[in-house]
């Protein structure tokens, strides 16, 4: 992955030594120079420094004391001590105090750059490890999309097929269905868990900054661009870039995104150099891209480039059979967070939740369960704990069901009486009744069975 040059701070009261070190290092590193310990500490407090080359003998503060203060205030900054040959014992003491390494003032130029490069590589690996650990902690929330419903099993099966294939994936689904979390599942199943997973929500960025966020910018590219900035594509190099709400990307930027995907290269804003990137794109949207294409708001060629592997996440109302599993997951999650011991949720409460339409999907359900866990004093979430708006929805649904049932009963009563009237008119002949009604004899027989009319016909015929 391309990164900015690391920054080296040279601390030495000998001006010629400072200049020599700058000349050796400036090609590969940003070099800062100071002549004493106080200036060194002030610089580290103000600027991002990766490595300090620190002379043991300084005019104001002993180098070992400067080392102690650096390690106490900035653990991520590594220090290489500069010593005279006769100060080797002091250098060893510095290592015990936290210095990474030491060099003598008769150092070899190539050896110095090799040591610093090795140190920078070690720092990068350490930062990546911390990053991956935080990503794995977020991955615990994959419970957002757990479920055994047929639609979710279909999603899982598709993920298993495509996760290891370097194809662009487009995840579609309503807001709150867990599209980013599904993207993280794909990353997990891909076997590339140690590679970057960078997310960018295109609706959360001011439109004038989207290009800079995606592709980066050079220093001075626009007002406020005071230094070089690396975009999301470069940060995701070698791994995954998740473009959330890609349907909201400005039309004029869609061509640049298309080129980045097709050619595997980008240009920073204000720069003319093409930068190669190896990024696997997972895009997501809740909007109707096909309609946007018809309306001239989304490029058809970009759509086909993104939609290589389409995955649709169902809305919660389409997978209500997962409700018990989801509520159980969230109860356990928030039991742990709030130090509660709620055992579960009653069947009556589940019935109420399953009557609701869930416009906010899984996210709305999680927010509700979090609130219920916080407010509950018992060991079970019951019907009376569910907010009143959910009860009202359940009652409305029940009333609609009852109305439909009454209408069906009225229709059946009318149909039954009408068929009986026709049969009586044709003296109970099934064949003539079917002809009068204009239906096949088989259909009449089915209706006689369904409406329990055979018994009535027998009684009439024997009377």
Q: Across 251-338, where does the E strand assignment appear?
A: 265-267, 274-276, 280-285, 309-312
Judge whether 212 lies within some domain. yes
Which CATH number do you get for residue 256?
Answer: 3.40.50.300
User: Does residue 180 sit within a domain?
Assistant: yes
pLDDT band at 88 (very low <50, low <70, confident <90, very high): confident
Q: Last residue of a domain, which of 290, 313, 336?
A: 313
- Domain CATH for 371: 1.10.8.60
Q: Do residues 295 and 356 both lie within one domain?
A: no
Q: Which of 328, 352, 386 represents a domain boundary (last residue)?
A: 386
Return the CATH number at 93.
Answer: 3.40.50.2300
For residues 45-49, give the mean pLDDT: 86
**Considering the domain boundaries, does residue 144 fall inside one?**
no
Q: Does residue 141 belong to any structural domain of this protein?
A: no
- 393 assigned to some structural domain: no
Tell me: do 174 and 305 sit in the same domain.
yes
State whether 323 and 273 are in the same domain.
no
Over the stretch 307-365, which tens digit does the pLDDT of each residue have? 999 999 999 999 999 898 889 889 988 999 999 999 999 988 998 898 888 989 999 99
* 309 in the same domain as 174: yes
Same domain, 294 and 322: no
User: Does residue 326 share a domain with residue 304?
Assistant: no
Write down the pLDDT at residue 172: 96
User: C-alpha angle with apex 218: 215 to 221, nearest 5 degrees?
Assistant: 100
Confidence of residue 404 (pLDDT cuts 50, 70, 90): low
Report pLDDT for 395.
62
Q: For 19-28, how does the pLDDT look when each residue is reduced to its tens digit (9 = 90+)?
A: 999 999 998 8
> In which band, very low, low, confident or very high, does the pLDDT at 298 lie, cut at 50, 70 and 90?
very high
Does 276 share its domain with 336? no
Count the domains in the chain.
4
pLDDT of 135 reads: 46
Q: Is residue 395 assigned to a domain?
A: no
Residues 322 and 279 in one domain: no
Task: Give the per-residue pLDDT at 105.
Answer: 82
- Looking at 74-149, list the stretches that DSSP marks H as alpha helix, in order from N- to C-terminal side: 88-96, 109-139
172 and 306 fall within a common domain: yes
- The pLDDT, as a whole number, for residue 463 is 59
Percentage of the residues of the chain whose pLDDT score is greater than 70: 89
Select the more confidently predicted residue: 73 or 278. Answer: 278
For residue 458, the enclosing domain spans 402-462
Q: Which of 277, 294, 313 is the last residue of a domain?
A: 313
330 contacts 370 by C-beta, under 8 angstroms: yes
Same domain, 32 and 74: yes
Does residue 129 have a pLDDT over 70? no
**What per-residue string of b and e applies to 329-349 under the rule 16 or more CB within 10 Å gives b?**
bbbbbbeeeeeeebeebeeeb
Are 376 and 419 within one domain?
A: no
Contact at 8 Å (CB) between 232 and 241? yes
Query: Is the confidence at residue 212, as pLDDT, over 50?
Result: yes
Residue 324 lies in a domain: yes
Same domain, 38 and 72: yes
**What pLDDT, on a 0 to 100 scale, did the predictor assign at position 431?**
86
| 239-252 per-position pLDDT tens digit | 999 999 999 999 98
């Amino acid at each position: 992955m391309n990164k900015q040059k690391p920054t080296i701070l040279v601390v030495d009261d000998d001006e010629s030594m400072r200049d020599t070190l700058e000349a050796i290092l400036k090609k590969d590193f940003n070099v800062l120079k100071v002549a004493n310990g106080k200036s060194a500490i002030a610089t580290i407090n103000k600027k991002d420094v990766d490595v300090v080359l620190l002379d043991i003998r300084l005019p104001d503060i002993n180098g070992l004391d400067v080392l102690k203060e650096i390690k106490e205030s900035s653990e991520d900054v590594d220090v290489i001590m500069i010593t005279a040959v006769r100060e080797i014992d002091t250098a060893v003491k510095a290592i015990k105090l936290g210095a990474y390494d030491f060099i003598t003032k008769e150092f070899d130029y190539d050896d110095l750059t090799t040591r610093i490069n090795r140190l920078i590589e070690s720092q990068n690996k350490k930062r990546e490890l911390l990053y991956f650990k935080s990503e794995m902690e977020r991955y615990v929330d994959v419970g957002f999309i757990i479920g055994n419903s047929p639609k979710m099993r279909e999603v899982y099966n598709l993920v298993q097929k495509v996760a290891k294939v370097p194809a662009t994936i487009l995840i579609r689904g309503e807001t709150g269905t867990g599209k980013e979390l599904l993207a993280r599942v794909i990353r997990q199943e891909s076997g590339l868990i140690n590679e970057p997973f960078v997310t960018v929500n295109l609706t959360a960025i001011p439109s004038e900054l989207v290009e800079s966020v995606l592709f980066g910018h050079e220093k001075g590219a626009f007002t406020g661009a005071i230094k070089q900035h690396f975009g999301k594509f470069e940060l995701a190099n070698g791994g995954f870039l998740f473009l959330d709400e890609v349907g909201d990307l400005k039309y004029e930027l869609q061509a640049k995104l298309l080129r980045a995907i097709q050619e595997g290269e980008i240009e920073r804003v204000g720069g003319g150099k093409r930068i190669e990137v190896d990024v696997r794109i997972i895009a997501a949207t809740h909007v109707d891209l096909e309609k946007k294409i018809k309306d001239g708001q989304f490029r058809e060629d970009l759509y086909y480039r993104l939609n290589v592997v389409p995955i649709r996440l169902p809305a919660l109302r389409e997978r209500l059979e997962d409700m018990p599993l989801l509520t159980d997951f969230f109860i356990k999650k928030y039991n742990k967070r709030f130090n509660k011991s709620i055992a579960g949720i009653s069947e009556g409460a589940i019935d109420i939740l399953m009557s609701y339409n869930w416009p906010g999907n899984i996210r709305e359900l999680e927010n509700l369960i979090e609130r219920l866990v916080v407010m509950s004093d018992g060991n079970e979430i019951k019907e009376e704990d569910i907010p009143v708006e959910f009860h009202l929805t359940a009652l409305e649904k029940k009333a609609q069901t009852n109305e439909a049932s009454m209408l069906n009963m009225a229709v059946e009563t009318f149909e039954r009486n009408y068929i009986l009237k026709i049969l009586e008119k044709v003296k109970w002949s099934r064949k003539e009744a079917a002809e009068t009604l204009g239906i096949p004899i088989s259909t009449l027989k089915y209706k006689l069975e369904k409406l329990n009319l055979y018994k009535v016909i027998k009684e009439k015929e024997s009377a």
